[in-house]
């Protein structure tokens, strides 16, 4: 099976060549452009499963509020994982597997706009094996084997169905809930957190954007003057302030991103900081040299534990394999677990 790096290099760049499309297609056919669920070819029928990567899992069929069925994957933790490289968790004592799973964070994964949920299994494996998180891999409507057709309204319903499932689950509901979103999945995560402010414990956002209309001038320069025709808004910039300040956000930005310009992630980070009126005095910036393979540059909001990291060599699809990426995610998850444990004492 492909490695994490092979997957990153092979991910389809959904926005390539869109600048040749007519303005009429921007308005009437934009759902096909924004949600290319059939690409790469075979994505609607050939969906890898976690067991192909040696991972135990459950098929989970969620039903969104409008009746659309979503075929998702759940990787639920067990006290002992017979997997190479699995991290040991101390003090698990005499807990059974369900009780152990209840002590671990649950990561809800929202993927980008190309491919299907199966293409992201290498990412889920890191959360599951290295960080010992439960993982719910969400398959949007119109993607993979899920029913329906994708749209902003529909994906919002899908995300809510996933969160409701986690919060009603006897084990998953007990630990912290973390949203992990890449590209458009970041917009899905921000929207879900803004509508469920008390239900989300943390967000991890990679290479996402301020809004889709704001993205058009750079993604489709010829159509920039017609950005107002974009009815799929995903206006993350207007929703950050609805997420509680004490909900930490980890932002991971590839500075060589050819799809989402760096300014979008910087703009979102500025809005994260503004959630606190004292953010200007509580921000500590640490800049380090950024040759290839270096530790990423970091900005930290000390009060909220939110962090912004830049990866100098990261592009839209390979930021997740840059040096320091998963170490930063693991540290963020570890801090969240420690914070939750301290508050419960």
Question: Is 316 among the catalytic positions?
Answer: yes
Strands across the sheet with 283-286, in order?
58-63, 69-75, 134-137, 106-110, 177-182, 202-206, 249-254, 306-311, 297-301, 283-286
Which residues are within 8 A (CB) of 20 and not within 5 positions of it... i.e. 6 or more apart? none
What DSSP assignment string belongs to 49-112?
Answer: -GGGGT---EEEEEE-TTS-EEEEEEE---SS--STTPPP-TT-TT--HHHHHHTS-EEEEE--
Q: Which of 257, 264, 301, 318 is catalytic?
A: 257
Question: Is 66 among the catalytic positions?
Answer: no
| Spatial CA neighbour of 240 closest among 279, 287, 281 | 279
- Distance separating alpha carbons of residues 133 and 177, to the nearest angstrom: 10
Q: Which of 111, 139, 316, 318 is catalytic?
A: 316
What DSSP assignment string belongs to 158-172?
Answer: HHHHHHHHHHHSTTG
Q: Which of 183, 236, 253, 306 is catalytic?
A: 183
Question: Is 183 among the catalytic positions?
Answer: yes
Q: Where in the sequence numbering do the catalytic residues fall? A: 183, 257, 316
């Amino acid at each position: 099976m492909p490695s994490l790096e092979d997957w990153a290099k092979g991910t389809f760049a959904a926005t390539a060549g869109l600048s040749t499309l007519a303005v009429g297609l921007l308005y009437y056919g934009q759902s096909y452009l924004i949600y290319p669920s059939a690409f790469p070819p075979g994505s609607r029928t050939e969906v890898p499963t976690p067991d192909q990567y040696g991972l135990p899992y459950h098929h989970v069929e969620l039903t969104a509020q409008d009746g659309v069925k979503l075929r998702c994957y759940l990787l639920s933790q067990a006290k002992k994982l017979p997997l190479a490289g699995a991290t040991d968790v101390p003090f698990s004592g005499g807990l059974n597997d369900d009780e152990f799973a209840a002590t671990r964070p649950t990561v809800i994964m929202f993927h980008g706009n190309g491919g299907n949920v199966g293409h992201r299994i290498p990412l889920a494996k890191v959360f599951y094996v290295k960080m010992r998180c439960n993982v719910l891999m969400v398959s949007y409507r119109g993607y993979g084997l899920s029913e329906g057709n994708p749209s902003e309204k529909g994906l919002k319903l899908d995300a809510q169905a996933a969160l409701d499932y986690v919060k009603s689950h006897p084990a998953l509901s007990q630990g912290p809930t973390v949203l992990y979103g890449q590209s458009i999945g970041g917009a899905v995560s921000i929207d879900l957190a803004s509508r469920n402010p008390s239900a989300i414990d943390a967000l991890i956002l990679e290479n996402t954007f301020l809004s889709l209309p704001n993205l058009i001038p750079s993604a489709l320069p010829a159509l920039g003057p017609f950005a107002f025709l974009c009815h799929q808004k995903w206006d993350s910039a207007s929703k950050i302030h609805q997420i509680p300040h004490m909900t930490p956000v980890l932002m991971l930005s590839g500075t060589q991103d050819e799809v989402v310009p760096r300014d979008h992630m910087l703009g979102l980070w500025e809005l994260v900081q503004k959630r606190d009126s004292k953010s200007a005095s509580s921000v500590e910036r640490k800049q380090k040299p950024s040759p290839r393979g270096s530790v990423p540059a970091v900005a930290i909001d000390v009060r909220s534990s939110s962090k912004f990291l830049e990866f100098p060599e990261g592009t839209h699809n390979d930021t997740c394999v840059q040096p320091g990426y998963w170490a930063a995610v693991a540290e963020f998850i570890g801090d969240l677990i420690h914070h939750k444990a301290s508050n419960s004492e």
